[in-house]
C-alpha cells in the first residue's frame, strides 16, 4: 500500500492567480479586438459629428487717466480709487449678470442663425444674408428651429414643425415664459422681406444684410432661446489679470462661431468702457443737472431785478443819482457776493447733512465745488462715499454675500460720520465769516442811509441786480467748467488688442482625447468582463489549480474525446488520448509495485458529481488493460443511473443487482464485449435500496469471486459527492481514481475529497484530470504532449508513433454537419 507520508492533505488557501488571469485575458483577444473596433467607431462618429470649438481673445489695459482740465476748483471727476481697485471692479463687472445681460440685449444674441450641416444644425452667425428684428413685447417661439427658404430676393417661405398642439414661447420685454396653441403639426407661409410675421408664437420682421451674396433658393434656420440661459452661457467668459502687468486684463471666450465670439468680446469691452466713463462723469453730470436747475431760477430773478432797475431809472438821471454813492454801492455789492458765497456753502452743507442722515444712495450727490467748497477732506470723502455707493449697487447683481454688503455699509457709515464732523466744523467757521460780513454790510448800509432817498433806492436795486448777475455768471462759469471736464474725460479702459478673427483659434474638439478614451474603454470593458468571469467562475481549469486546492497527486491528464462513442482507446489506439490512458496505466502499475500488491488489482473510479466522465474513463481504462492482454472486467456499480452498457451494444437486463439479491450467478451476469480480454458486468435493474445492497456480504463475495477470474477489476461507482456508495466500496480497492473534468468540476468539491481522505474513508487516491484542452485561457501551457510526470513528451519524433488528428477547418466542419443532415 501507499505510505501515508506520500500524501499531505493540508488545504492551501486559494489566492488569485495573476499569471493564469493574464493568460486567460490573452485567450479572449477577439473580445478586445471587437471592443476596440466598437469604441474607436464610436469615437470617430463623435468626432466627426462635433462642431469645431474656437477660442477668441482680447486684451485691455486699465489706466488712471487724469483729466487735463482738472483743477482744485473743477473737481468734478469721479474717482474709482486707484488702478488696483479699478481692475478688480472691472473683472467683477465683466462676469456680472447685469453686464452680460446688457451685452446680450444689445447684440440680440438670444437669436440663433443656423444652417443645416452634415449631421446637425450649425451656428452660422455672421454668414447668413439676413437678420430679424423681433417685437420684444410679443411672444416668440422658444427653442424650435424655424426654417427660412428664400424663394426670390424679396420673398421667403417660413416653415415650422411642431411635435404637439402646444408650444412654449418667450416674451423678451418681460423676460417671461408663456405658451401658445397650434392646430397643425406644420405651418408653412410666405412673407415678403420686411413684412411683419404676425403669428401667435412669432412676431418679427426679416431684413436683408448689405452685400448678402447669392441666397435665393438657400435654406436657413433661426431659433429663439431663453434670455437667462443665453446670458448664463456668456457669463463663463474667462477673465485673467496679467502676471507682469497688474493693470492688463485678458479676456477669452470659447464657442463654435468665431464671428459671434469676436463681436461679443469687443461689445462687452465697449459697453464696459461707456459704463465706466459714465461713472467717471457722475460728478460732472450731477453738477450740470444742479447748475441747470439753479440757472433756471436765477434767470428769472435776474430778469426781475433788471426790469426793476429799468423802471426806477425811467424819467430820472441815474448818473447824477449814482454820484457820491457809487463806491459805497460797489463795496456793498462785494460784501453781498461774499455773503452769498458763504451762504451757498452753508446751504450745501445743510443739504449734504440732511442727505447723509436720510438717504442710503449717495451716487447722485453733486460735487462740493459747485458751492465753491474746496476743502480737500470734504471733496475726498464725498468722492469715496459715491464710489462705495456705486460699487455696492453694482455688486448687488453679481454677488449675494450679506457679509460683503455689511462691510460696504460699515465703510460708508464711517465716512458719513467723518463727513458729518467735517460739516459741523466747517459750518462753525463759515458762521464766523458770515457774522463778520454782516457787520461790514451793516456799517456800509449805515453810511448809505445818510444819502438821499432816491440814491438809497437806486443803491438797493443796483446791489440786488449786481448780486444776481454775479451769481448767474458764476454758475454759467461752473457749468462751462463741468461741460469741459465731461467732454475731456476719457475712459480708463483701453484696448491693447481687440478680438479679431485672424484665421486661427481652433481648440477643439480634442479628437485625440476621444481616441485615448476609446482605447482605454476598449481595453477596460472586456478586461472587467473577463475579470468578472474569472471571479464568478468556480470550476477547475488547470492542474495548477488542483495542486493549489489539494495535495492529492494527479495521476494523469486526459484530453478531449476524439470519437463519437466512449470507446476512444479501442477506436483510435494510436491517438494522443489513448497514450494518455496508457500513461495512467503505467502510473498505476508503479503504484501497485510500490504497494507490493499481488494477484488481481482492483481499481475504483469515482467523481464528485455526474457528468465528469467517470464512466468514459472506466471504459477506456478497462480497454487499456485489455489491450495489454490482461483479463479485465468493468463492474457497473452506479445502481441509480446505469450507463456503462450502451457503448458495448449489450443489454442491462441482468447485472450486479441480480447477483446481490441472489437471482443470478456470476457467469450469468458477466457479458463479453467485442474487445478481447474485456468483459462487462452491468448494474442491472434499478433497485429501491442500492446502498443496502452494496453494504451486504454479497458484494464482498462478488469481488472475491471476480478476483479468481480476472487480472484487473474496474469498479465504476456513483459520485462520491452525491451518495455514499463509493465510500463503502473503497475497502475492496487497491487504488481509487477521482475523476475531475476541466471547466465542469467545482473547486469546492476537492475540499470534500480532502476531508474524506483525512477521515480514512478514501485511501490510495489519485486525481485524474479529464476533458483537458490545451488553451492559454486556462492558464496552462501543455496539452497531450506533456511531461512533468503526467505523460510523455513526444514532440516531432512522436509523429511516427501516434495518429495525431488534424483540426478541421470551419468549412470542413460545416460540410460534415450538412452531410450528417
Are 714 and 578 members of one domain?
yes
| All three cell numbers of 748 | 469546492
| All three cell numbers of 624 | 487499456
Is residue 81 situated within a structural domain? no
In this prediction, residue 289 carries a pLDDT of 75
Does residue 124 have a pLDDT over 90? yes
Sequence-distant (6+) residues with CB within 8 A of 541 are 20, 742, 743, 777, 778, 779, 780
Are 588 and 475 members of one domain?
no
Is residue 475 situated within a structural domain? yes
Does residue 188 have a pLDDT over 90? yes
Share of the chain above pLDDT 90, in %: 27
Contacts of 457-460 with C-beta under 8 Å, sequence gap 24+, read: 457/312, 458/312, 458/313, 458/318, 458/321, 458/322, 458/325, 458/329, 459/325, 459/328, 459/329, 459/332
In this prediction, residue 189 carries a pLDDT of 94
Does residue 317 have a pLDDT over 60? no
In this prediction, residue 404 carries a pLDDT of 62
Is residue 548 situated within a structural domain? yes
Are 546 and 472 members of one domain?
no
Are 568 and 454 members of one domain?
no
Nearest-angstrom CA–CA distance, 384 and 622: 111
**Model confidence over 487-520: pLDDT tens digits?**
767 778 888 899 998 888 888 777 888 889 999 9
Are 289 and 429 members of one domain?
yes
Local structure of residue 281 (DSSP, 8 states)? T
Does residue 566 have a pLDDT over 80? yes
Are 694 and 805 members of one domain?
yes
Are 601 and 711 members of one domain?
yes
Are 543 and 484 members of one domain?
no
Looking at residue 763, which CATH number applies to its domain? Answer: 3.40.50.300
3-state helix, strand, coil in the chain (%, to 5): 50, 15, 35
Are 664 and 740 members of one domain?
yes
Is residue 260 situated within a structural domain? no
**Model confidence over 241-252: pLDDT tens digits?**
877 667 889 999
| pLDDT mean over 202-231 | 94
| All three cell numbers of 206 | 426679416
Contact 736, 763 (CB under 8 A): yes
Nearest-angstrom CA–CA distance, 159 and 197: 12
Nearest-angstrom CA–CA distance, 379 and 372: 11
Sequence-distant (6+) residues with CB within 8 A of 575 are 562, 568, 802, 803, 804, 805
Are 635 and 744 members of one domain?
yes
Instruction: Name the 3-class secondary structure at 672.
Output: strand
**Residue 471, domain extent:** 282-488
Nearest-angstrom CA–CA distance, 699 and 729: 9
In this prediction, residue 11 carries a pLDDT of 41
Instruction: Name the 3-class secondary structure at 647.
Output: helix
Are 473 and 569 members of one domain?
no
Tally DSSP H helices, then E strands, for the chain. 24, 25
Q: What is the largest CA-CA distance in the chain?
A: 179
Partners of 160 in the β-ladder: 187
pLDDT: which is higher, 516 or 287: 516
CA atoms within 13 A on the CB side of 740: 32
> Could you tell me the pLDDT band of residue 753, with boundaries at 50, 70 and 90?
confident
In this prediction, residue 812 carries a pLDDT of 60
Are 762 and 699 members of one domain?
yes
Contact 107, 131 (CB under 8 A): no
Is residue 348 situated within a structural domain? yes
Instruction: Name the 3-class secondary structure at 607.
Output: strand
Is residue 67 situated within a structural domain? no
**Model confidence over 436-474: pLDDT tens digits?**
877 877 776 666 665 555 555 656 666 666 667 777 777
Contact 67, 77 (CB under 8 A): yes
CA atoms within 13 A on the CB side of 617: 34
Instruction: Name the 3-class secondary structure at 766.
Output: strand
Split into its structural domains, the chain has a count of: 2
Instruction: Name the 3-class secondary structure at 397.
Output: coil
Tell me the average pLDDT of the chain: 79
**Model confidence over 615-637: pLDDT tens digits?**
899 999 999 999 989 999 999 88
Domain boundary among 463, 488, 513: 488
Distances 298 to 17, 304, 330, 371, 468 between C-alpha atoms, Å:
103, 10, 21, 15, 7
Is residue 48 situated within a structural domain? no
Is residue 254 situated within a structural domain? no
Amino acid at each position: 500500500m501507499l505510505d501515508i507520508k506520500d500524501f499531505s492533505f493540508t488545504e492551501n488557501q486559494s489566492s488569485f492567480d495573476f499569471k493564469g488571469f493574464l493568460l486567460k485575458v490573452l485567450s479572449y483577444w477577439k473580445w478586445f479586438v471587437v471592443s476596440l473596433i466598437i469604441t474607436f467607431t464610436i469615437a470617430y462618429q463623435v468626432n466627426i459629428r462635433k462642431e469645431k470649438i474656437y477660442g477668441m481673445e482680447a486684451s485691455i489695459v486699465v489706466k488712471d487717466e487724469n483729466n487735463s482740465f482738472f483743477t482744485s476748483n473743477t473737481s468734478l471727476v469721479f474717482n474709482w480709487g486707484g488702478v488696483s481697485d479699478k481692475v478688480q471692479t472691472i473683472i467683477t463687472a465683466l462676469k456680472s449678470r447685469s453686464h452680460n445681460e446688457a451685452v446680450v440685449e444689445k447684440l440680440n444674441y438670444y437669436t440663433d442663425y443656423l444652417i443645416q450641416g452634415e449631421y446637425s444644425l450649425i451656428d452660422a452667425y455672421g454668414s447668413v444674408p439676413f437678420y430679424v428684428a423681433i417685437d420684444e413685447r410679443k411672444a416668440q417661439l422658444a427653442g424650435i428651429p424655424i426654417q427660412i427658404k428664400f424663394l426670390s430676393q424679396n420673398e421667403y417661405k417660413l416653415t415650422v414643425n411642431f411635435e404637439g398642439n402646444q408650444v412654449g414661447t418667450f416674451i423678451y420685454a418681460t423676460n417671461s415664459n408663456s405658451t401658445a396653441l397650434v392646430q397643425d403639426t406644420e405651418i408653412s407661409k410666405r412673407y415678403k422681406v420686411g413684412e411683419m410675421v404676425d403669428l401667435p408664437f412669432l412676431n418679427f420682421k426679416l431684413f436683408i444684410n448689405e452685400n448678402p451674396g447669392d441666397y435665393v433658393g438657400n435654406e436657413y434656420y433661426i431659433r429663439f432661446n431663453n434670455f437667462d440661459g443665453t446670458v448664463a452661457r456668456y457669463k463663463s467668459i474667462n477673465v485673467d489679470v496679467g502676471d507682469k502687468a497688474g493693470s492688463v486684463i485678458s479676456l477669452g471666450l470659447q464657442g463654435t462661431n468665431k464671428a459671434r465670439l469676436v463681436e461679443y468680446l469687443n461689445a462687452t469691452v465697449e459697453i464696459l468702457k461707456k459704463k465706466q466713463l459714465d461713472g467717471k462723469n457722475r460728478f460732472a453730470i450731477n453738477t450740470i443737472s444742479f447748475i441747470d436747475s439753479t440757472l433756471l431760477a436765477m434767470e428769472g430773478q435776474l430778469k426781475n431785478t433788471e426790469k426793476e432797475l429799468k423802471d426806477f431809472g425811467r424819467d430820472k438821471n441815474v448818473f447824477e443819482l449814482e454820484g457820491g454813492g457809487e463806491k459805497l454801492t460797489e463795496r456793498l455789492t462785494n460784501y453781498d457776493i461774499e455773503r452769498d458765497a458763504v451762504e451757498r456753502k452753508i446751504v450745501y452743507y445743510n443739504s449734504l447733512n440732511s442727505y447723509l442722515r436720510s438717504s442710503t444712495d449717495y451716487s447722485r450727490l453733486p460735487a462740493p465745488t459747485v458751492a465753491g467748497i474746496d476743502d480737500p477732506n470734504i471733496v475726498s470723502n464725498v468722492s469715496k462715499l459715491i464710489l462705495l455707493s456705486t460699487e455696492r449697487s453694482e455688486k448687488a447683481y453679481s454677488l449675494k454675500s450679506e457679509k460683503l454688503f455689511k462691510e460696504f455699509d460699515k465703510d460708508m457709515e464711517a465716512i458719513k460720520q467723518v463727513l458729518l464732523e467735517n460739516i459741523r466744523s466747517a459750518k462753525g467757521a463759515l458762521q464766523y465769516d458770515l457774522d463778520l460780513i454782516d457787520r461790514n454790510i451793516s456799517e456800509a448800509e449805515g453810511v448809505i442811509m445818510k444819502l438821499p432817498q432816491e440814491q438809497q433806492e437806486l443803491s438797493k436795486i443796483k446791489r440786488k441786480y449786481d448780486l444776481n448777475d454775479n451769481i448767474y455768471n458764476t454758475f454759467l462759469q461752473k457749468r462751462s467748467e463741468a461741460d469741459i471736464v465731461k467732454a475731456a474725460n476719457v475712459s480708463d479702459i483701453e484696448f491693447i488688442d481687440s478680438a479679431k478673427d485672424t484665421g486661427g483659434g481652433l481648440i477643439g474638439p480634442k479628437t485625440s482625447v476621444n481616441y485615448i478614451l476609446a482605447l482605454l474603454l476598449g481595453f477596460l470593458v472586456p478586461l472587467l468582463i473577463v475579470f468578472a468571469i474569472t471571479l464568478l467562475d468556480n470550476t477547475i481549469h488547470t492542474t495548477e489549480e488542483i495542486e493549489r486546492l489539494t495535495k492529492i497527486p494527479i495521476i494523469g491528464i486526459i484530453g478531449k474525446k476524439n470519437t463519437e462513442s466512449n470507446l476512444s482507446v479501442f477506436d483510435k489506439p494510436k491517438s494522443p488520448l489513448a497514450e494518455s490512458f496508457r500513461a495512467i496505466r503505467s502510473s498505476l502499475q508503479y503504484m501497485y509495485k510500490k504497494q507490493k500488491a499481488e494477484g488481481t488489482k482492483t481499481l475504483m473510479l469515482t467523481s464528485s458529481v455526474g457528468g465528469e466522465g467517470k464512466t468514459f474513463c472506466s471504459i477506456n481504462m478497462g480497454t487499456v488493460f485489455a489491450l495489454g492482454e490482461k483479463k479485465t472486467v468493468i463492474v457497473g456499480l452506479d445502481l441509480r443511473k446505469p450507463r456503462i452498457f450502451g457503448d458495448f451494444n449489450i443489454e442491462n437486463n441482468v447485472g450486479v443487482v441480480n447477483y446481490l439479491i441472489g437471482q443470478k450467478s456470476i457467469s450469468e451476469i458477466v457479458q463479453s464485449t467485442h474487445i478481447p480480454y474485456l468483459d462487462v458486468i452491468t448494474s442491472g435493474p434499478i433497485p429501491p435500496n442500492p446502498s443496502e445492497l452494496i453494504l451486504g456480504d454479497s458484494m464482498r463475495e462478488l469481488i472475491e469471486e471476480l478476483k479468481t477470474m480476472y487480472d484487473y477489476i474496474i469498479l465504476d461507482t456513483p459520485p462520491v459527492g452525491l451518495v455514499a456508495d463509493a465510500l463503502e466500496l473503497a475497502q475492496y480497492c487497491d487504488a481509487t481514481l477521482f475523476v475531475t473534468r476541466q471547466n465542469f468540476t467545482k473547486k469546492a468539491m476537492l475540499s470534500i475529497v480532502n476531508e474524506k481522505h483525512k477521515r480514512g474513508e478514501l485511501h490510495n487516491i489519485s486525481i485524474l484530470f479529464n476533458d483537458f484542452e490545451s488553451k492559454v485561457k486556462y492558464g496552462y501551457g501543455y496539452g497531450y504532449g506533456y511531461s512533468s510526470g503526467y505523460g510523455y513528451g513526444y514532440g516531432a519524433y512522436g509523429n511516427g508513433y501516434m495518429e495525431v488528428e488534424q483540426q478541421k477547418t470551419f468549412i470542413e466542419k460545416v460540410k460534415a454537419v450538412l452531410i450528417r443532415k
